[in-house]
């Protein structure tokens, strides 16, 4: 299916990507930009949220203090307006970054409940980001978000991207693009009028009249008996 045919003209999906890296020249940001490009190819609009540009206070359990912070409110508003979210994280000590965790702590159900979420992780080492992505899955489930099965774990990122921020590994590039496309497709299924009407009709459909028919199975005859 061509990207222009992915969405009907009356449905506009918007996806935000959140980069949990504070580094200049961040490989996480580079990977996230490619995933968002996949969203655009599938017909969605996108926004990159680089947490490096946000001065978020640490969450201390007092939500009123967070609500007085302009960057917290800006972050919440951006995520609330999206139908899909892609979280990108570097790997620190086998887990996702504290910067990303703090940003997630500053949000809640209003931002994530019912949203479709894609995940990608970037590691400088050879083991990749599997454990970090598993941790993010737990957080997203606790926020009642839908995490797509497909995710991208990038190992030895220094060998995947060039100094000019182009990607060298086209297999990884295809997987990143695919994550973006899948987020858009599932977000569309969750929000489109046609999909919701189909689900309503399916739930209200009359039960299959043949569904309760029982099939009589005769037991095998004992030795010496005719059937």
CATH of the domain at 182: 3.40.50.360
Q: Let me know if residue 226 belongs to a domain.
A: no
User: pLDDT higher for 66 or 53?
Assistant: 53
- Angle (CA) 197 201 207, round 5°: 165
Question: Average pLDDT, stretch 88-99?
Answer: 96
Per-residue pLDDT at 74 exceeds 90: yes
CA 95 to chain centre: 17
Q: Provide the number of structural domains found in the chain.
A: 1
DSSP 166: -
Asked whether 123 and 91 are in contact (CB, 8 A), the reply is: yes
Q: What's the CA dihedral at 182, 183, 184, 190 to 10 degrees?
A: 110
Q: Report pLDDT for 93.
A: 94
Q: Let me know if residue 209 belongs to a domain.
A: no
Three-state SS for 126-142 is CCCCHHHHHHHHHHHHH
Q: Let me know if residue 121 belongs to a domain.
A: yes
Asked whether 35 and 176 are in contact (CB, 8 A), the reply is: yes
Per-residue pLDDT at 81 exceeds 90: yes
Measure Cα distances from 192 to 3, 8, 71, 187 in Å.
17, 9, 31, 8
Bridge partner list, 47: 16
User: Would you place residue 2 in the very low, low, confident or very high pLDDT band (cuts 50, 70, 90)?
Assistant: very low
Question: Average pLDDT, stretch 44-56?
Answer: 96
User: pLDDT higher for 50 or 201?
Assistant: 50
Q: Report pLDDT for 199.
A: 58
The packing angle between helices 27-41 and 170-191, to 10°, is 50
First-to-last C-alpha distance (Å) of the chain: 56
Q: Let me know if residue 220 belongs to a domain.
A: no
Containing structural domain, residue 48? 3-204
| H/E run at residue 64 | helix 63-67
Q: Let me know if residue 227 belongs to a domain.
A: no
Q: Let me know if residue 173 belongs to a domain.
A: yes
Q: Return the minimum-mean-pLDDT range out of 32-41, 109-118, 202-211.
A: 202-211
Alpha-carbon distance of 85 to 83, in angstroms, equals 7
User: Would you place residue 214 in the very low, low, confident or very high pLDDT band (cuts 50, 70, 90)?
Assistant: very low
Alpha-carbon distance of 202 to 2, in angstroms, equals 28
Q: Find, among 39, 34, 48, 32, the residue nearest to 13 by Cα.
A: 39
Q: Report pLDDT for 209.
A: 56
Q: Let me know if residue 213 belongs to a domain.
A: no
Per-residue pLDDT at 218 exceeds 60: no
Q: Are strands 45-50 and 84-90 parallel, antiparallel or unpaired?
A: unpaired
Per-residue pLDDT at 125 exceeds 60: yes
Per-residue pLDDT at 212 exceeds 90: no
User: pLDDT higher for 103 or 205?
Assistant: 103
Q: Which residue has the tokens 């949203």?
A: 115
Asked whether 66 and 59 are in contact (CB, 8 A), the reply is: yes
Q: Let me know if residue 223 belongs to a domain.
A: no
Helix (H, G, I), strand (E, B) or coil at 54: coil
């Amino acid at each position: 299916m061509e990207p222009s045919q992915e969405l009907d003209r009356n449905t506009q999906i918007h996806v935000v990507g959140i980069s949990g890296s504070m580094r200049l020249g961040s490989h996480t940001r580079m990977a996230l930009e490619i995933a968002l490009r996949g969203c655009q190819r599938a017909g969605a609009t996108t926004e990159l949220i680089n947490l490096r540009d946000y001065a978020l206070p640490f969450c201390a359990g007092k939500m009123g203090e967070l609500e007085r912070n302009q960057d917290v409110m800006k972050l919440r508003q951006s995520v609330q307006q999206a139908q899909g979210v892609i979280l990108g994280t570097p790997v620190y000590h086998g887990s996702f970054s504290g910067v990303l965790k703090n940003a997630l702590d500053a949000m809640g159900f209003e931002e994530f409940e019912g949203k479709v979420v894609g995940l990608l992780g970037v590691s400088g080492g050879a083991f990749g980001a599997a454990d970090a992505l598993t941790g993010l899955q737990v957080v997203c489930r606790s926020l009642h978000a839908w995490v797509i099965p497909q995710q991208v774990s990038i190992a030895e990122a220094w060998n995947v991207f060039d100094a000019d921020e182009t990607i060298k590994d086209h297999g990884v590039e295809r997987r990143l693009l695919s994550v973006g496309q899948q987020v858009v497709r599932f977000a569309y299924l969750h929000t489109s009028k046609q999909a919701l009407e189909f689900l309503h009709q399916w739930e209200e459909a009359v039960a299959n009249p043949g569904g309760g028919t029982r099939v009589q199975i005769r037991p095998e005859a004992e030795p010496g008996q005719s059937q």
